Structure 1
Amino acid sequence: VSTLDLVVNPLPELDLEDNYVICADASSGGLDYVEVDSELSAAGYSFEWRDEFGTLLSTDAVYLIDQIGIYSLEVSNTVGSNCSTLAFFTVSESENPTVTATVTSEDFADSHTIVATATGGGLYEFSLDQGPWQDSGTFTGVRPGERTVNVRDLNGCGITSFVLVVIDYPAYFTPNGDGYNDTWNIGALSNQMASKIYIFDRFGKLLKQIMPAGEGWDGTYNGQKMPTTDYWFLLHYNDLDTAAPKQLRGHFTLKR
């Protein structure tokens, strides 16, 4: 009886990703190519990178790809055996999103909500102004004024921003000369040069006419400081979405 020694040669081990992502627009900070590394030494192995049509692309241990598609890498031992391993992977593309955002709450509501959407070929997350990133494009309890929704591609392909305005008015102001809340105005409408605000006392007497683009009301009438109490206003403005003329009546408090 004779004996036979069997030598089992290990297969080359590959640890490639199933999918690699390149950026459609490299100007946004991402890369429009990916460097796929076999992580094997060229001294002991041979390499054949091919596209989905079987075309030989490279025989190096590392291959740079700048086109989407299906690829394969076959690695063979060159020392001791001709064992080989074949792996397939895809390269897909992520693009900057088309971003839209709207204020879903009514103008001058008690609480404001922004809903943002992002469409495109990538995976995205959202941030309001400089706040934390989140999966959802819905933001509640939003402060009045100009707000910026930022949308970030999760594959590092850049950030797209969308600016919108949340309309509200201050509930009070404190004209005491400390540099904070010294005047009353509706700053969210500062870009509407034709908007006008009329301010009245409790008896309906006109005290001041101001514009959102101006400095606001300092709490005086004919040079005299008005007392702490509530004051009323009438606002004429244009709807931010439709440009239709609108008006609003409300009141605020002067505190001294």
Structure 2
Amino acid sequence: MDASNATNEILNPLAYISGNGTVYIRVYNSNGCYAIAKVNLTVIPPKRSAVLADKTICIDARTNLDAGPGYQSYLWSTGATTQAITGVGVGNYWVILKDNGCSVKQLVSVKKAEDPVISEIEISNNTATVHVKGGKSPYQYAVDSPANWQDSNVFTGLSRGQHIFYVKDSYNCTPVSVEVTVPNLINTITPNGDNKNDYIDYSALGYKENLSFVIYDRYGNKIFTGDKFNNYKWDGRHFDKKISTGTYWFHINWNEPNKEKTPIKYSGWIMVKNID
């Protein structure tokens, strides 16, 4: 009807955008006579690559991107005109794929692998348990050298002093690490004034951030808190009175002075022998 009445004209047929449908065209001869032609429009759907997908790699690694076979032509954002491009790093890319005379632009990203984070280390006597978050599990763990990896996050038989714990995830990127102090352990004090094992002393950890040192009895009652005012030393007293001979538990918490401020939880027991 529009073609017969010369209404709803398509003003720029070269830039006409349409889905599936029908258009009508007036076709004139040299005498000015016309006929109406019917044209059915069928949209050819773009053929996107089913194999081209985002990738995740280590920040300093390289990978390949493959759009798959079967296209008339390829044009990558790198300028390559091959089916695949090789040795690309982290970044955003695109490829124009031509099929059956039609082209589609497909985006693809190469993303940096998220580093795992050592979220906490628990130390009990000479055993350390390393807790990790982020990255992609499964994780692997090592201590003092990033060579002897293990699947377990528990390390036993640690000596006193400084240790470096390493963690890597399934992407096998450069390991993350934390240096931790395993404190010197005193299991027994005899606070009788003879200057031999008269107190438990963790003042050597005074430089650690948020250092907290707490003693509990076997019922879980707090009987002492070590702080900078008492220099993190305890002589077996509660409110200036000698406590009963027995076994007591203690917890020491601090944050390592690194970028992540890794929380450390150290626990153990101590025998107090109050001898008059």
**TM-score bracket for this pair, using the shorter chain length:** 0.3 to 0.5
TM-score normalized by the length of structure 1: 0.44
Higher Cα radius of gyration:
2
